[in-house]
Amino acid sequence: MTVPKTAPKTAMVLAAGLGTRMRPLTDDRPKALVEVGGRALIDHVLDRLADAGVARAVVNVHWFADRLEAHLAGRGRGPEITISDERAELLETGGGLKKAIPLLGDDPVFVANIDSVWTDRGDALAELSNLWDPERMDAALLLARREGAIGFEGGGDFFLGEDGQLTFRGEAAEAPYAYMGVHICRPGYVADGPDGPFSLSGLWRRSAAAGRLFGCVLDGNWMHVGDPGARDEAEARLAREAG
C-alpha cells in the first residue's frame, strides 16, 4: 500500500517509561532497548514509522536516557530523531506529549508506544492514516482483536461502530478490541491538559463521549511486549512466521 497523503510526517515515540514489569531485562537498559527477534523494541517501531513515510520522530527519554540516546544516534536509517528530555520528571503519555508540543509542530502526528510489535497482512499505519479526518476526529486509534494477541490481559478497551467510532467498554464485562499502541492526533489535543504527569485516557473518554474518537483494526498479529514472558512468546511467534 502506498503512503496516503493524509499520513503524518512526524511522530511522537513514547520511550520514557521505567519498564518495571520487564525486569530483570530493564535492570541495565531502558525498556525501549529490550530486544525482540534480534532488534530493540524502539527499532521495531521506528522502522514501521519510516516505512509509513515519517521523516522525523520525537522520542522522550528518562530511564537510562544516555544509553537510549546513544543507540538512537547510531541508527543507520530514518526517521531523523529529536529528543524530548524527561530526565527530571516522568510525565506519562499525556504529559510527555504536552511537553513535546514545541518540538512537534501543529500538524497531525503518529503517537506510538514502544512495547507493541506486530505482523501485518495489510498495512496498518496506512489504513489508520486513511481513516484520519481532523474535521470529525480528535484522535484515530489503531486497535487489535483480543483473540490471538500476545501479552494482553484484561477485558478489552473498546467497542467499534460501523463508521469507525469508538465507545469505551464501560460497565460491560468485556469488549472485543484493545488499543495496540499507535494513534494519530494533533499535538495541540493535549494542550489544555494539566501540568506535570497525566494520561491520555481521560482525554480519549471526553472525545468518545463527544463522538470524536475513532479507530480501525489491525489485520495481523499483535504482540504487547510488556514483560519477559511476553517477550519470549513474541520472539517465538516471529520465528515461526519468518520460517
Check residue 1 and give its pLDDT.
53
CB 138 within 8 A of CB 185: yes
Quote the pTM value. 0.94
Q: Which residue, chain included where needed, has cell 478489552?
A: 156
Mean pLDDT of 157-165: 94
Q: What is the pLDDT of residue 240?
A: 87
What average pLDDT does this structure show over 107-134? 95
Residue 97: predicted pLDDT? 96
pLDDT of residue 242: 77
| 2 has pLDDT over 70 | no
Mean pLDDT confidence for 6-32: 93
Question: What pLDDT digit, counting tens, does each position of 125-155 carry?
Answer: 999 999 999 999 999 999 999 888 998 888 8
Element (H, E) at 224: strand 220-224
Which residues, at least 6 apart from 71, have a Cβ–Cβ distance to it below 8 Å? 33, 40, 42
The domain spans of the chain are: 10-242
User: Mean per-residue pLDDT for 26-55?
Assistant: 95
Per-residue confidence (pLDDT) for residue 6, from 0 to 100: 78
Distances (CA, A) of 236 to 135, 223, 242: 42, 11, 10
User: What dihedral angle (degrees, nearest 10) is formed by the CA atoms of 61, 145, 214, 184?
Assistant: 30
CA distances in angstroms from 11 to 65, 110, 144, 192, listed in the order given:
19, 4, 20, 20
Residues 10-242, CATH architecture: Alpha-Beta Complex (3.90)
Mean pLDDT of 149-162: 91
Q: Is the pLDDT of residue 55 over 60?
A: yes
For the cut 70, the answer to whether the pLDDT of residue 223 exceeds it is yes
58-84 pLDDT, tens digit each: 999 999 999 999 999 998 888 999 999
Sign, CA dihedral 131-179-43-149, equals negative
Instruction: Return the pLDDT at 76.
Output: 84
Q: What is the pLDDT of residues 95-106, one digit of tens each?
A: 999 999 999 999
- Identify the pLDDT of residue 147: 85
Q: What is the mean pLDDT of residues 186-193?
A: 93
